Structure formats: structure tokens, C-alpha cells
């Protein structure tokens, strides 16, 4: 008797690719935020309107930083999920094959 391989339920390459894409997006977003922050620091904010704009810009740059961090966290969570799921699929495969081998031995007994 042949059992399906539990790994067929787990698309590890797709999860790895997704994790890499999210990590790259997080790094790109962090880089853009850094560029914007540097450019904003070079500007002279003199008028009240300019200072108000600078305050809003600072808040938005903070939100970009949070988004970058969340993308990096999501990337790490997907990577960890893939590892745990792979480990559990391997354990399930070992248990299933051991149980199947035992059942086959029992059935073959005289």
C-alpha cells in the first residue's frame, strides 16, 4: 500500500519565495524611508506651514518604518511557519509509514 507524501501538501518553494519577496520589500521600503528622511533633513523649514508639513512628513516616515518592520516580521513568520510545517510533515510521514509497515506485518501473519 502506498501513502501520499505529506510534503505534497506543503509548497515549501512558494513559501520560501514569498518570504524572500517580503524581506526584499521591507528592505526597499526601509531604504526609501532613509532616502526621504535624508532629503527632508537637508531642507530648511522656516515658515509655519513648512514646519507643519515637516511634522506630518516625520509622522508619515515613522509609519513607513513601521510598515517596513511589519513586512520583515511577516517574512520571518512565513519562514518559521515553513520550517515548522516541514518538520511536522516529516514527522507525520515517519509515523504514517511506521504504522503502515506495522499493519502490513500484522496482515501477513499466518
> pLDDT (tens digit, 9 = 90+) per residue, 53-94?
989 999 999 999 999 999 999 999 999 999 998 888 888 878
Is residue 4 a part of any domain in this protein? no
What DSSP state is assigned to residue 6? G
18 touches 108 (CB < 8 A): no
* 28 lies in some domain: yes
* Assigned domain for 69 exists: yes
Q: How far is CA 97 from the centre of its chain?
A: 31
Question: Does 89 reside within a domain?
Answer: yes
Domain membership of residue 76 (yes or no) is yes
Residue 108 lies in a domain: no
Q: Smallest Cα–Cα separation from 78: which of 25, 14, 26, 30? A: 14
Domain assignment present for 74:
yes
Q: Cα(6)–Cα(9) distance, rounded to whole angstroms?
A: 6
Whether residue 37 has pLDDT greater than 70: yes
Q: Cell numbers for 11, please give them.
A: 509548497
Is 58 contained in some domain?
yes
The C-alpha cell at 61 is 516616515
Which structural domain, as residue segments, surrounds residue 80? Answer: 9-101
How many domains, in total, are found in the chain? 1
* pLDDT value of residue 66: 97
Amino acid at each position: 500500500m502506498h501513502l501520499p507524501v505529506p510534503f505534497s501538501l506543503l509548497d515549501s518553494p512558494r513559501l520560501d519565495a514569498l518570504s524572500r519577496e517580503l524581506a526584499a520589500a521591507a528592505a526597499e521600503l526601509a531604504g526609501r524611508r532613509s532616502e526621504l528622511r535624508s532629503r527632508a533633513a537637508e531642507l530648511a523649514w522656516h515658515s509655519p506651514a513648512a514646519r507643519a508639513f515637516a511634522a506630518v512628513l516625520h509622522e508619515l516616515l515613522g509609519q513607513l518604518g513601521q510598515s517596513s518592520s511589519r513586512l520583515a516580521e511577516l517574512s520571518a513568520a512565513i519562514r518559521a511557519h515553513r520550517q515548522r510545517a516541514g518538520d511536522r510533515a516529516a514527522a507525520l510521514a515517519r509515523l504514517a509509514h511506521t504504522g503502515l509497515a506495522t499493519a502490513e506485518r500484522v496482515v501477513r501473519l499466518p
